[in-house]
Amino acid sequence: MKEIVFAGFGGQGVLTSGLIVSEIAVSNGMNATWIPSYGSAMRGGTANCTVKFGNGRIFNPAQEKPDVLLAMNTPSFNKFIDTVAPNGTVIVNSDMVEYDPKVREDVKYVDVPCQTLAKEINHSKGANIIMTGVILKSIGEFTDQQAIDGMNAMFDKKGKGKFKEMNTKALKIGLTQI
C-alpha cells in the first residue's frame, strides 16, 4: 500500500492532484482512498489531502506516514516533512519552496520547478498536473499510458474533458522529470 500527501495553498490544485492518482489506481483495479484535511480555519491557509492505494484493504484512510509528500509551498513542506516515511520521497515545487535538506536526511528530494514548466507549455494551471506526473513516475506503479488514461477518464467524468490535450501534455512532462 502506498500513501501520498498532497499539500499546498488553496488554489494550487493539490486536491485534484490527489484525486487523479486515486482514480488511476482504481481504474487499474486497486483500492484507493482520498481524504482531504479540513478543519476549523476555513478561509485562507493550506489545503492538503492524503491518498492511499494498493491491492489489499485500506484500513486507516487518514494521513499516517506518507511514502511520498508533494509540497507545493513552504508551509506545507514544514508541516509534513517530519511525517514522511523513512526512505520516502519528497517532491518539491522548487519555484516556491526553500528548504534545508538536512531536516530529513533519510528521504529523497525531487525538486521540480513546476510553475515555470507549466508556463512554458502555456498551461498556467497545469503545475499540479505536472507534479502528478512526477509522483506517478516516482511511485512507478503504473505505466505512462495507464496514468494518462486514468487522468483523462477522471476529467471526463467531471465534465472537464476539453482540457484533455493540455493536461496530457502537462502530465507527460511530469512523467519525464525523474
Binding residues vs other proteins (CB under 8 A): 9, 19, 22-23, 26, 29, 31-36, 38-45, 58-62, 64-65, 157
Q: What is the rounded (10 degree) CA torsion for 60, 63, 23, 127? A: 180
**CB nearer other proteins, residue 35 or residue 178:** 35
**CB nearer other proteins, residue 60 or residue 143:** 60
**CB nearer other proteins, residue 114 or residue 173:** 114
Minimum CB separation of residue 30 from other proteins in Å reads 9
**CB nearer other proteins, residue 152 or residue 177:** 152
Minimum CB separation of residue 71 from other proteins in Å reads 15
How many other C-beta atoms are found inside a 10 Å radius of the C-beta of residue 139? 18
3-state SS of 46-59 is: EEEEEEEEECCCCC
Of 39, 42, 51, whose CA–CA distance to 10 is shortest? 42
Minimum CB separation of residue 136 from other proteins in Å reads 16
Minimum CB separation of residue 61 from other proteins in Å reads 5
Q: Are 115 and 92 in contact (CB under 8 A)?
A: no
**Whole-Å CA distances, 17 to 36, 38, 56, 134, 142:** 12, 17, 23, 11, 16
**CB nearer other proteins, residue 22 or residue 128:** 22
**Which regions of 55-178 does DSSP assign to beta strands (E)?**
68-71, 89-93, 108-112
Minimum CB separation of residue 176 from other proteins in Å reads 27
How many other C-beta atoms are found inside a 10 Å radius of the C-beta of residue 141? 17
